[in-house]
Amino acid sequence: MTEEKLPRVVAIGGGTGMPVLLRGLKNLPIHLTALVTVADDGGSTGRLREEMAIPAPGDIRNVIAALSDAEPMLLELFQHRFSVGNGLSGHSLGNLLLAAMTSITGNFNMGIKEISRVLNVKGKIYPISNDNMSLHAEMEDGTMITGESKIPLSGKRIKRVFLSPQPVQPLPNAIRAIEQADLVVIAPGSLYTSILPTMITPKIDEAIRNTVGKVVYVCNVMTQAGETDDYTAAEHVRAISSHIGDGAVDAIVVHNEPIRKAVRAMYAEENADPVVYDTDRLINMGLEIIEGDIIDHTRATVRHDTEKIAKLLYSIIERP
């Protein structure tokens, strides 16, 4: 297959699920684009946002590391987090480099592009916006919570999330990538604080609804306390639909093997349980269900297996 005819795959998300997805996808014969959330406000990222008025660099940093083919020592340096020293305590070197490159280039997206070139990144990485935005949640009882890091701690069920200040300006290249994609993959991760902030940006939601490519949601394997307590797979999709419109998601990828008892017990202590795959509801929603054993069984925690999920997603592209 010639370079021009390689399938175009767009991955959307942030948090811990996005890098896992990308590490496998980067090795496939595809044109890969990652659209990454910039609404994080915790730790090093939050301090840099406040001090330099830039979009959140933390999720971008992890995506750069996942897609980089740089020497391991250079990547370790990029991901290094300072533990001592006055102003540097808690900061990641990669976050500082992204902030510095943004200052040099005058543009967050250009800063990412330059860092990506230095670290030999495979594929393209776009922040969902160059804007320094904040995430808010309206809870089911009408309470408003401001700040990505505070939303899961409220102890209340989330009704919807939204961004400020409005209007958030999406990157034209991000919109174009979705419109031209053969496959759009919504990554697993924190549904309301990592995934939806990327999708509810104006014009991004419209592009997802209107793309000719197939839109596939890789469903979380476990629920998340404070965000998706007791959510079934259908309720994950319903949350996406309520934010960006019905019919936006064409297919859902689910893990179809039992979770080990010891692992379930560990998660139960954090008020998290395996996501129930309510097949009938998913079918009634018009979704194609794609099943597989797609977690890494060598880990003590539940994580998607980067190679298994990449292979499964590539098989979707290859279907006639």
Mean local confidence (pLDDT), 90-118: 89
Q: What is the pLDDT of residues 207-240, one digit of tens each?
A: 999 999 999 999 999 999 999 999 999 999 999 9
Task: Note whether 185 and 191 are within 8 A (CB).
Answer: no
pLDDT for 1 equals 54
Q: Kindly list the distances between the CA atom of residue 294 and the CA atoms of 172, 180, 259, in Å, as whole numbers in the listed order.
A: 33, 27, 11
pLDDT for 180 equals 95
Banded pLDDT at 110 (limits 50, 70, 90): very high
- For residues 3 and 195, the model is more confident at 195
Q: What is the pTM of this model?
A: 0.92
pLDDT of 88 higher than 80: no
Domain 3-37+168-318 has what CATH class?
A: alpha beta
Task: Note whether 163 and 192 are within 8 A (CB).
Answer: no
pLDDT for 73 equals 84
Distance, in Å, from the CA atom of 300 to the CA atom of 249, rounded to the nearest integer, reads 31
pLDDT of 7 higher than 90: yes
Distance, in Å, from the CA atom of 257 to the CA atom of 172, rounded to the nearest integer, reads 40
Q: Give me the residue spans of the domains in the chain.
A: 3-37+168-318, 41-126
Mean local confidence (pLDDT), 52-63: 83
pLDDT of 293 higher than 80: yes
Q: What is the pLDDT of residues 283-292, one digit of tens each?
A: 999 999 999 9
pLDDT for 74 equals 85
pLDDT for 12 equals 97
pLDDT for 179 equals 96
pLDDT of 54 higher than 80: no
